[in-house]
Structure 1
Amino acid sequence: MTTELTIDVRLWDQVSQFLFREARLLDEWRLLEWYDEMLTEDIRYAVPATDVRGEVAGALGLIEDDAARLRQRIEQLLNDEVWCENPRSRTNRMLSNVEILTDRGTHLDVAANLIVHRFGHGRSDAYVGKCRFELVADGNSFRIRQRVVVLDHETLYEHGKLSIIL
C-alpha cells in the first residue's frame, strides 16, 4: 500500500524563496535588515548544545536569544565589538531539504538542512546542522518567530567560537 503525500508546491516555493533570501541577507551581513524585515517581535533564536539529540525544548543551549538579546548581538557584531569578527568572517550558506512539516493555521513548522561555510582569520570552518523554523504569515511573505539550529558536531573545539549568526 502506498500513501500519497500532498504538497502545495506554490507554498513550498514561497517558503524556500523566503529562506534563501534569509541566507543571502545573513551572508551579506545585512543583519539589521534581516532583523527588521524577517523576524517577529517575539523571535526566539536558539542553538542547543552539541550533545543534544532529539527534543531540544529545555535543553542546555549555546545560544538562547529573545528579541532584545538578538538585537544586542547584532549591534555588537556590526559595531566591531566582537573581537573574533573583526574583520568580519565571510560566510556562504547552503540550505537544502526544505520541508513544510505542519501547517498549524497560525504558523508553519518548517525544517531544512544547513551548512554554513565560514572563512576568515586564516581559518575555514563548516557548521553542519538542521534548522527548525516557525514561520508566520506576513502579507505575501513570512516572518520568523522561532529559529532553532541543531548542529551535528560533537564539539565546536575545531571550529572556534560561534560568533556568527547561523
Structure 2
Amino acid sequence: MNAPLNQAFSPVQADESRPVDVSLHHEVSQFYFREARLQNGRQPRLWLESMVDPDVHYWLPILEDRFAKDQRPAPTPDEPAVYNDSYQDLDNRIARLETGLVWMEDPPSRVRFLVTNIEAYQTTQDDLIATYCNVHVYRNRRQREEANHFYGREDVLRRGPDGRLRLFRRKIVLDQRVVLDKNLYVFL
C-alpha cells in the first residue's frame, strides 16, 4: 500500500540531550500501553479515531541486508515500502477489515502486543515528542499458525486538540529481512 507521501512530511529529530520529564514519560508509556490493548482487543477503528493524528505518516520501509562497506543511504519515504500510509490509507484498511471479507482474518487472529524500552525526547517543536520503543507481536491463528514479529518503532507523538497524545509519525523497523508470516494484517 504505497500511498503518495503527505506533502507536510518533514523529519523530526529527537534531542537526546533533553529527555522528557517523568510525568510526560508516564503519559507516553500509557499511550503505548493503551495502543497495545486496543490492538490486542481487535479495536483498530477506536485506535485510529482516538489515537492517530489526521496528518499521520505510517511507514514500514523495505530494508536491505548490506555489507559493512556498502555505504548507500538508508531508505526514504519516497522509495518503495511495505507501508507508506496516510490516515486515509489506514482508514481504508480498517474499513476492509470491517467488511468481514478478509479471509485471512476469519476467524480473527489472536494477537498480543508487548511494548518495551520506551524512550521519549523533546524536539525543536514544542508540540512534538520523539519516541523509541521495542515491540514483540505474537500472532496465533487456527491451531498451528503462529508468528512472532520483533521490531523497533521510531515515532513522533503530537498533542491533539483534545489535549491527548496522538501518533503523528511512525517508522517501523522489522528485525526480519523476509517476513515469514502469511500476512501482515495487523497494525504494527
Higher normalized contact order (CA 8 Å, seq sep 6+, divided by chain length) = 2
2:5 corresponds to: none
Q: CA 1:63/1:7 → structure 2, altered by over 3 Å: closer, same or farther?
A: closer
Three-state SS of the structure 2 residue aligned to 1:159 is coil
Larger helix share, 1 or 2: 1
Task: Give, in whole Å, the separation in 2 of the partners of 1:114 and 1:135.
Answer: 17
Give the deviation of 1:74 after TM superposition: 0.6
2:75 aligned with 1:62: no
What RMSD, in angstroms, separates the aligned Cα atoms of the two structures? 2.1
- Structure 1 unaligned spans of 5+: none
- Once residues 52 and 150 of structure 1 are traced to their aligned partners in structure 2, the CA distance between those partners, rounded to angstroms, is 13
Counterpart Cα distance in 1 of 2:159 and 2:18: 23
Matched, 1:142 2:142: no
Aligned position for 1:15: 28
SS in 2 for 1:110: strand
CA drift of 1:101 comes to: 3.3
Name the CA distance, whole Å, in 1 between partners of 2:100 and 2:47. 18
Task: Name the counterpart of 1:27.
Answer: 40
Q: Deviations over 1:6-41 (max 9, x none)?
A: 651111111000111011101111111111111111
Of the three residues 94, 101, 106, the one matched with 2:114 is 94
- CA distance, structure 2, for counterparts of residue 52 and residue 60 of structure 1: 16
| Structure 2 Cα separation of the partners of residues 52 and 32 of structure 1 | 35
In the TM superposition, what whole-angstrom CA distance separates every residue of 1:33-75 from its partner, at most 9, and x where no partner exists? 1111111111121211243788443343111111111101011
CA–CA distance in 2 between the matches of 1:5 and 1:133? 16
**TM-score if structure 1 supplies the norm length?**
0.88
The alignment partner of 2:29 has SS state of helix
SS at match of 2:31: helix
Indicate the structure with greater strand content: 1
Q: Is 1:111 the counterpart of 2:132 in the alignment?
A: yes
